[in-house]
């Protein structure tokens, strides 16, 4: 299988796009560490994987707390000194008009969607350099490309993830590490299900395919960037949005 013998770390791996990615990688032969703040869901995924004979383990992480991020990195690299794949897939958002956004939420959403991933990536990079030909895939959002009313702080964080991708790709090329970014559009995940039906219907009307994306469809793009068939691709930003957004 395409990922046989590879070690992968996926944040936000207990639900939504992250979970779909964990299952795809494990199904293709990888040994996957699911890192998530939700321990109950993470450990349930490990049990589910065991029944299917998939190699998945769980490691708790809170990306809004740098000490938690560094502890997770230390635990993972102690067990796996050579890490082949890092997928920064975790993210969250709450709708607030920017003028009404609580200041503590701004700090939290930036940490959870940007700075936590920077801390984690920096902490595990030595093990990825040691592995050679490693892959980093950041999951941002089309909100970071075109903006999103009610998600200004979130969009700022995701825009930062795209800039992080491009700059890190330049630095890591000398080590043979490809760094790319996937930007989902509206996708049928637990996060989107916290939104109103009116908003979801508006998304569907605006999407060229007139439907929401599936987590597995976004995971397909992530696993492409994580695999050997993208060996000459780096610093790229790919929207998976059903035609909702595009860049000319």
pLDDT tens for 159-178 read 999 999 999 999 999 999 99
Please, what is the Cα angle at 84 between 81 and 88, to 5 degrees? Answer: 105
Q: What's the mean pLDDT when you consider all of the chain?
A: 92
The active-site residue, picked from 105, 154, 232, 246, is 154
Give pLDDT, residue 213. 73
> DSSP alpha helices (H): ranges in the chain?
16-27, 39-51, 66-79, 103-110, 116-131, 143-146, 152-172, 197-206, 215-226
Domains observed in the chain: 7-240 (3.40.50.720)
Of all residues in the chain, the percent with pLDDT exceeding 90 is 79
Known active-site residue 154: yes
Residue 157 confidence (pLDDT) above 50: yes
Residue 193 confidence (pLDDT) above 70: no
- Residue (of 172, 170, 175, 166) closest to 238 by Cα position: 166
Residue 145 confidence (pLDDT) above 90: no
pLDDT, tens only, 75-119: 999 999 999 999 999 999 888 999 999 999 999 999 999 999 999
Sheet with 56-60, edge to edge strand ranges: 56-60, 31-36, 7-11, 85-88, 135-139, 178-184, 237-240
Residue 206 confidence (pLDDT) above 80: no
SS3 call for 63: coil
| Residue 64 contacts residue 53 (beta carbons within 8 Å) | no
């Amino acid at each position: 299988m395409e990922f046989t013998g590879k070690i992968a770390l996926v944040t936000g791996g207990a639900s939504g796009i992250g979970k779909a990615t964990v299952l795809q990688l494990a199904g293709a032969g990888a040994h996957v560490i699911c890192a998530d703040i939700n321990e109950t869901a993470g450990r349930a995924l490990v049990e589910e994987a065991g029944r299917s004979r998939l190699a998945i383990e769980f490691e708790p992480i809170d990306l809004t707390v740098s000490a938690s991020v560094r502890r997770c990195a230390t635990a993972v690299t102690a067990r796996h000194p050579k890490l082949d794949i890092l997928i920064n897939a975790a993210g969250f958002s709450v709708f607030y008009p920017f003028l009404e956004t609580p200041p503590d939420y701004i700090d939290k959403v930036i940490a959870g969607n940007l700075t936590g991933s920077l801390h984690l990536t920096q902490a595990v990079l030595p093990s990825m350099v040691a592995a050679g030909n490693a892959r980093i895939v950041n999951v941002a959002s089309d909100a970071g490309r075109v903006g999103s009313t009610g998600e200004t702080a979130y969009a700022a964080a995701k825009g930062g993830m795209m800039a992080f991708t491009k700059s890190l790709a330049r630095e890591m090329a000398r080590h043979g590490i490809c760094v790319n970014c996937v930007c989902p559009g509206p996708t049928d995940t637990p996060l989107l299900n916290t939104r109103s039906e009116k908003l979801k219907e508006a998304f569907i009307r605006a999407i060229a395919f007139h439907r929401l994306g599936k987590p597995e469809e976004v995971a397909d793009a992530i696993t492409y960037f994580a695999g050997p068939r993208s060996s000459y691709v780096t610093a790229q930003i790919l929207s998976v949005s059903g035609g909702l957004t595009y860049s000319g």
